[in-house]
Amino acid sequence: MSKHLIAPSILTADFLHLESEIAMVNSSEADLIHLDIMDGVFVPNLTFGFPVIRQIKSVARKPLDVHLMVVNAESYLEEYRDAGADWLTVHYEACTHLHRTIHRIKELGMKPAVSLNPHTDVALLENVLPDLNMVLIMTVNPGFGGQKFIENSYTKIRKLKKMIKNAGAETLIQVDGGVNEENIGTLIDTGVDVFVVGNTIFSASDPIKMISNLKKLS
């Protein structure tokens, strides 16, 4: 069985029944709970902030994988830690002092990750790659769930995998956007370690079985 990780994205969960949705993920084979934080500035959408993260943390039994699609993320790193983030992802495109921010995330006891938008070249991460626990390749344009997977992402993933190997790093590769039962096998073969999955899980008639199926695929 493959060792890849599944991180259900609650962006497409039923927020009216969020506690029961988290309970479902808790009882599943999922590895992480993925939270998309959007500020309406860096991306054209708004989601939620610290109060909701704290509420989710209070019932979650899986680590929180918090993806910041926001400007000025470096100003609130401690608040995200205190709210319950275990993994914290910042965007290359929104972070002027990336090296400093990565090390501050690590100092605060979280696992640092950096995300790249579809147009951003993975080569730009060469100088910080060994400092990262994970790189998140956006396989759709960030902002909304349920979008179609961008095919050029495979090329980026292969290039990143080669960079990680050449650097002697243990950085994980995560993808977010358009992941489903049809493409996950190819993505695993390409080198992806962690899968953010939203619509495919939360729109399934049996989400727990869907998570199990995604874990079994290789």
Q: Strand 5-8's sheet: what is its strand order?
A: 5-8, 194-197, 172-176, 134-138, 111-116, 87-91, 64-69, 33-38
- C-beta separation of 195 from 217 below 8 A: no
- Return the number of other C-beta atoms located less than 10 Å from residue 114's C-beta: 26
Do the Cβ atoms of 174 and 190 come closer than 8 Å? no
65 is catalytic: no
Residue 195 structure tokens: 């899968």
Q: How far apart are CA 36 and CA 1, in angstroms?
A: 28
Catalytic choice (14, 39, 82, 176): 176
Distance in angstroms (rounded) separating the CA atoms of residues 146 and 140: 9
Q: Is 14 part of the annotated catalytic residue set?
A: no
Of 31, 36, 65, 193, which is the active-site residue?
36
Facing residues of 136 across strands? Answer: 115, 174
Rg (CA), the chain: 16
Q: Distance from CA of residue 130 to its chain's centroid?
A: 18
Q: What is the DSSP annotation of 169-197?
A: ---EEEEESS--TTTHHHHHHHT--EEEE
Closest among 135, 130, 193 to 160, alpha carbons compared: 135
Residues tagged active-site: 36, 176
